[in-house]
């Protein structure tokens, strides 16, 4: 079973600052496996941001980007905006098992 860990647990940022969220897998994925990223605001369902590690979902602004491979993946928000608060989850996909990380909470100062 692949276990995903996310860091930091909480990120507190001012608008305009850069956010770097990390997702690390307990073992390397299969060669055709990837990471997806979701954003969840309180009381709402998660929203897909990134899939196949680097592709933006429809409607996601280009200040949000995904990178990484192997066991280390990153979600970057180049300039945080007030609507970016909430919890961000990474998820591994591509094989026949699916798991999500514990989440990183982003707070806007």
- Using CB under 8 A as the criterion, which residues of the chain lie in contact with other proteins when the complex forms? 33-34, 36, 38, 40, 45-48, 51-52, 57, 87, 89, 91, 93-103
Nearer to other proteins, 63 or 93 (CB): 93
Pick the closest to residue 65 from 95, 41, 94, 35 (CA basis). Answer: 35
CB of 73 to other proteins, least distance (A): 13
Pick the closest to residue 64 from 14, 12, 18, 7 (CA basis). Answer: 18
| CB neighbour list of residue 90: distance below 8 Å, 6 or more residues apart | 4, 6, 21, 23, 35, 36, 37, 73, 75, 100, 101
Nearer to other proteins, 20 or 97 (CB): 97
CB of 5 to other proteins, least distance (A): 12
Nearer to other proteins, 79 or 105 (CB): 105
> And the tokens for 70?
């192997």
CB of 62 to other proteins, least distance (A): 19
């Amino acid at each position: 079973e692949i276990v995903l860990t996310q860091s930091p647990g909480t990120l507190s940022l001012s608008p305009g600052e850069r956010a770097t969220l990390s997702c690390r897998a307990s073992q390397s994925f299969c060669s055709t496996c990837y990471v997806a990223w979701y954003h969840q605001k309180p009381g709402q369902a998660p929203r897909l941001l990134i899939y196949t590690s680097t592709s933006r979902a429809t409607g996601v602004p280009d200040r949000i980007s995904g990178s990484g491979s192997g066991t280390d993946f990153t979600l970057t928000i180049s300039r945080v905006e007030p609507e970016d608060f909430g919890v961000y989850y990474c998820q591994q996909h591509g094989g026949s098992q699916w798991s999500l990380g514990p989440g990183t909470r982003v707070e806007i100062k």
